[in-house]
Structure 1
């Protein structure tokens, strides 16, 4: 079961459209929709700048990203891109590597067979 927590500090705007955009960018576009266990997003407004932090816990690992910008939607896009890049990097590290060494081929037994010789 996935837990989603979105916190807004310093009176940052948090409408349903912003929530939907966060869900779309952080869950669907990262390819982690079936793996996320916990998601915590914090919005902070500091003058004209908006800062967004996201902490994701999935069965594949933990992700943390932080983005800021004057436009809230651009900051969300940058945040989603950072999480997506981290997820791609983890997938590449986990994938089995092809031809990473010589395959072991069984060596046939070359010892001469001892046979009983009949002595007349």
Structure 2
């Protein structure tokens, strides 16, 4: 297991985030996570559930895919990646969704950038 894989795995474990299917690709790292979708919320917020899932409240309503797009955009922002690096891989019509997150490494965004981003978003 490479250093980046170990660091992301450890960070998620420390923060209580359950991830799966973690794999390393050239210049990127991809992992899956579970999301408990809460569309149509008055206040947008992100919490961690008891089983390590992310609970995400967004204002968009589940009409014509608006909420799914909203969840994708919010996850992208929280992880510091473009929306194109977040893919819904399951649960399109369910409140329980699965997403794949791709962390792309560049000169400006290395593993430490993503670790710091996760600390800011998920630390209590």
Band of TM-score, shorter chain: under 0.3
**TM-score, length basis structure 1:** 0.28
**TM-score, length basis structure 2:** 0.27
